[in-house]
Amino acid sequence: MAWTRRRFVGTSCLAVLARPVQSEPRPVPFIDSHVHVWKHDPTYPFAAGANVPPQDASAEMLLSLMRANDVERTVIIQVIHYKWDNSYLAAVLKQHPKQFRGVCRLNPEDPAAPDHLSRLTEVDGFHGVRLSPVEGPQGDWIRGPLMRPLWRRCAHLKTPMTLLIPVTRLPDLHRLIEANPDLQVVIDHMADCPVDQPGKLELLLALAHYPNVFVKISHMWSLSHQPYPYPDAQAQAQQLYKVFGADRLMAGTDWPISLRQLPYAPSVSLYRDHLSFLNREDRVQILSRTVQAVWPF
């Protein structure tokens, strides 16, 4: 039979349809465990004396970046610019409950902090609290009498305790963790342990003894002495991986604080495309499943 032009075109189209479709592989799922938001809005005033950048870092800006980088959800940590006023983040959580979980800040030296936590959790929809004890005497409240009732309330509410804490203060946590063995405790940014001081890293590795302690392998951009993708900081993350395991580590970009050195896209790529010591299963665990276990969406 003669191959007319019409028959050739029709047959060619069928052949194309029969051919398997080549699609791009789906990126590793990512739930960013650590971002901040703020907005210059008189409805949500900043704390007196706060050193706030002139640019916004709004929830809308974050959502746009998430869509562009296939980031499914994020955990927003209340930024220090508002001090103890969590109103802006509470409004964001109400507006975007499917995309965000929120971690509030409380005054740790306020005896009413446990009751404030109950309200923020039960009324305003927060799923965690963050404390930030500094290294010097001003951070000694982490050893003080107000910690026990606050940690007990966290345990009662099943509200994870997140800590921005210097690595040298980690020994102060043992008694609090032991008194609340069912409370999930998350250490931010590898406790900002210097990558060239392995003796200090032992203080963080010692917390692996407690099964409900988790670590964010974040801040590689600030801890590293080497260029992107920060091999020395990756080596520290690998040590944590060997001791804690993938099911107790999580990834976080610290957007927009990280913009000092690193745009959002390479921050995400750092976890998706580097960290060569991870197999795919453990990469998925660290990028999404661990976060989901602590902050269920």
- 20 in any annotated domain: no
- 22 in any annotated domain: no
Average pLDDT score over residue span 263-280: 98
The whole model's pTM is what?
0.91
Residue 8 has pLDDT above 90, yes or no: no
pLDDT digits (tens, 9 = 90+) for 67-94: 999 999 999 999 999 999 999 999 999 9
State both tokens at 121. 């959790």
Q: What are phi and psi of 104, to 5 degrees?
A: -90, 170
Contact by Cβ (8 Å): 77, 53: no
- Per the structure, the count of domains in the chain is 1
Q: What are phi and psi of 33, to 5 degrees?
A: -85, -5
- 123 in any annotated domain: yes
- 246 in any annotated domain: yes
User: Mean pLDDT over all residues of the chain?
Assistant: 93
47: domain CATH number is 3.20.20.140
Position 24 scores a pLDDT of 59
Contact by Cβ (8 Å): 225, 195: yes
- 234 in any annotated domain: yes
As a dihedral over the C-alpha atoms of residue 130, residue 131, residue 132, residue 134, rounded to 10 degrees, the angle is -170
Residue with token string 């409950």: 97
Q: What are phi and psi of 249, to 5 degrees?
A: -120, 150
Contact by Cβ (8 Å): 40, 66: no
- 23 in any annotated domain: no
- 81 in any annotated domain: yes
- 243 in any annotated domain: yes
CA–CA gap between residue 285 and residue 56 (Å, rounded): 32
Position 25 scores a pLDDT of 73
Residue 287's domain comprises 33-294
